[in-house]
Amino acid sequence: MSFFSDEHAAELRELFFESAEELLQGVNEAGLSLEERPADDEELRRVRRAVHTLKGDSAACGFRELSELAHGLEEVLTPEHAKEAGAKIAEVVLIAADTFHEMLAAYRNNMQPPSGKALREHIARLLHKPVPGEEQVAREATFPWTEYERLTIAEALNRSETVLNIALHLTPQIALPAAAIELVRKALTNAGKILAIRPNAEAAPENVALIEAALLTSQTPVWISEHCRVPAIVESIDVFAAVATAEVPSRDLLDILLESEAAAVAAGVSVGPHEASHPLPANLARAAENSLRVDASRIDTVLNLVGELIIGKSMLQRAIGELNRAHTKDPLLVKFADALSFQSRVLSELQKSVMKIRMVPVDQLFRRFPRIVRDVARTRNKDISLEIAGQNTDLDKGILDALADPISHLVRNAADHGIEAPADRTAAGKSPQGIIRLDAYHDGDQVVIEISDDGRGLDREKILRSAIDRHLLTQEESQRLNDAEVLQLIFTPGLSTAEQVTEISGRGVGMDVVKSTVEMLKGSIQIESEAGKGSRFRLLVPLTLASIQALLFRVHGRLYAVPLASVVEITRITDDSVHRVDGHEVFRLREQVLTLARLDDLGPRAVERARRTFVIVIDAGTRRFGLAVDNLVGEEELVIKALEDELSASPLVSGASILGDGTVVLILNIPAVVSRLARIPAVGAIA
């Protein structure tokens, strides 16, 4: 039940969901700490503060089920109960985190939340009492109302209407008494018409323990006890049947009294039930003051407009260049150049500022993995520790959100299949406790996220055998693959080397999705593994998907670009230095033999190729290859745009951009070029 207008409630809910996820992450972390140190009073207080906040915020948003469950959990989170429960207190906290997370997901999707039966049973067991389900029976009682209020109640009773006297006992130490009274008033208004209420918000004492009200209602006492118990504010409710304690005056006198009351309200003497304002709960109000919630689409719109300004700057630079060639001695050229320089500096700062708005630390993602590792370790009877570094590395929020599932999958795989059982580790001369490491750092204009473990490593022979059994390659082809390419086979759909399929992993499903997600983000994956020593997965993704520094070139008259960070060097080769090995073109670059890739698949095949060809040497993570181009155009900052074109939709193209003169540039998807145009590298001597 929500006590706010639809617009206010929607705003409050969004803020609630954001803060609730952060609170639950803190509960998860504290639960893991309590597993190791059940008697840690500070961690217990941390959980209690988070649950108390969650209780109050969910009540303000009308999420009664969540608020009541949090209220019940609060009773358990005391030093006395924690000492008695021992290690069980951590289990209850982690179950609560999972239960609350499921309830939040249900609320987000406007679905009925789960009952939280398991959590209720754990709470009841620790409190040595059954799950509460109290019912109250109405009985006659009188409250000390004023003469006018008694007259109003008597008039209603004479009309055979039901009036209930309600005593609402508040939780101790209410921080905002006036706000609490108004929330209670709103709850009562939803149950009927308030004939009297004590105290008023304007005259609220510092310590409010009891709110008394007379309510004209058609609801039952049980219904009122359930629906008017505002979580985190009302601790208990007593409902009594009102009795007439005054003689009802004549109709005229009653009308006069009612008119007097209306006049008093108009004069501001008292506030009616619909006049009250409802401030946000204290912690949500503080969050609202210190932060500004902006929909991500609005930031994207601003970023897109900045991109348009960059294109406009490029157009202006071209125009000034042409003007300079036509009117070399014109004194206005210096002023134009100064104005353009100033605009460029401001535009650069504007772009950086907008980009920073979307940048968030990877800690927001890394914080969820200790719980994942803990759950897998308990399920598989393993001892695993998780080491995290680089938490403050910033990354575009859109990229970070997209990486959540791939990294979760890699972490689960490391815990489930990578780390051996304690007995196996001991037999191999290792510590019984396995280690999984997460790290993040910047490398140029890319962010590198590493997931490594000290487990059994990837078995090269098993991977090849599995690939051959599934007819993914022949025995002859397998012999030509180097170690890095063999490891890349694990990203093939359906390929798995797990000896046992578990509820966690081992079905060969997921690694292909990991790779496709990373490549969709214009990134790449590198794998290092040593049998018996462990594995390392290195995810390389761009800082942002909004703009890149690129090298431009032409092939068959069409303009292309590759990220400058992928370019190792540029060279020229002759037709005589190009040879064919196993059906693939290769060339020698100093001591290396590299595959030569051509973009004929993207355009009309050239009738005749030049004797000397420009070759861009590109580092694709696990390998290098040469990309043959007709001519080079130069370096430029490109703003990535979404274009509806069959070429821009090609898997070999990761995006497109527009230059200042309106020319469309296609940005190549380097991992796709590697897998499609240079699938099997040439090795050995050139014939």
CB neighbours of residue 477 within 10 Å: 15
CATH number of the structural domain spanning residue 43 = 1.20.120.160
Count up the domains in the chain and report the number.
Answer: 5
Question: How is residue 142 written in tokens?
Answer: 């009188």
Cα angle vertex 463, ends 460, 466, to 5°?
Answer: 145
User: Which of 121-130, 210-219, 241-250 tops mean pLDDT?
Assistant: 210-219
E strand or H helix at 22, and its extent?
helix 6-36
Looking at residue 646, its pLDDT comes to 52
- Residue 372 and residue 356 share a domain: no
Sign of CA dihedral 636, 639, 642, 644: negative
Give pLDDT tens digits for 378-403: 888 899 999 999 988 888 888 888 88
**How far is it, in rounded angstroms, from Cα 203 to Cα 180?**
13
- Residue 331 and residue 237 share a domain: no
- Residue 437 and residue 480 share a domain: yes
Instruction: Output 616 or 680, whichever has higher pLDDT.
Output: 616
CATH number of the structural domain spanning residue 412 = 3.30.565.10
Binned at pLDDT 50, 70 and 90, residue 485 comes out as: confident
pLDDT above 90 (res 543) = no
Q: Which of 519, 542, 565 is the last residue of a domain?
A: 542
* Domain containing residue 178: 147-285
Q: Which of 230, 254, 285 is the last residue of a domain?
A: 285
Residue 467 resides in a domain: yes
**pLDDT mean across residues, the chain:** 76
- Residue 448 and residue 469 share a domain: yes
**What are 194's strand-pairing partners?**
215
Chain centre distance of CA 321: 46
- Residue 88 and residue 100 share a domain: yes
Instruction: Output 214 or 277, whichever has higher pLDDT.
Output: 214
Percent over 70 (pLDDT), the chain: 78
- Residue 188 and residue 82 share a domain: no
- Residue 161 and residue 248 share a domain: yes
Looking at residue 434, its pLDDT comes to 92
Binned at pLDDT 50, 70 and 90, residue 345 comes out as: confident
Looking at residue 542, its pLDDT comes to 80
CATH number of the structural domain spanning residue 568 = 2.40.50.180
User: SS in 3 state form for 272-316?
Assistant: CCCCCCCCCCHHHHHHHHHCCCCCHHHHHHHHHHHHHHHHHHHHH
**How far is it, in rounded angstroms, from Cα 402 to Cα 514?**
10
Q: Which of 542, 566, 594 is the last residue of a domain?
A: 542
Residue 683 resides in a domain: no
Among 192-201, 236-245, 256-265, 267-276, the range scoring the smallest mean pLDDT is 267-276
pTM equals 0.60
CB neighbours of residue 98 within 10 Å: 18
Looking at residue 537, its pLDDT comes to 92
Looking at residue 502, its pLDDT comes to 52
- Residue 107 and residue 92 share a domain: yes
Looking at residue 31, its pLDDT comes to 85
- Residue 325 and residue 470 share a domain: no
Binned at pLDDT 50, 70 and 90, residue 553 comes out as: very high
Helix axes 117-127, 64-76, angle to 10 degrees: 30
Give pLDDT tens digits for 134-153: 333 334 445 767 767 777 88
Among 194-203, 255-264, 390-399, 529-538, the range scoring the smallest mean pLDDT is 255-264
What burial letters (b/e) apply to 41-50, b meaning 16+ CB within 10 Å?
Answer: eebbebbbbb
Alpha helices in 192-240 (DSSP H): 221-227
CB neighbours of residue 140 within 10 Å: 9
Give pLDDT tens digits for 69-117: 888 888 888 887 777 777 788 888 888 888 888 888 888 888 888 878 8
What burial letters (b/e) apply to 448-465, b meaning 16+ CB within 10 Å?
Answer: bbbbbbbbbbbebeebbe
Give pLDDT tens digits for 220-260: 887 888 888 888 888 888 888 776 655 444 443 344 444 44
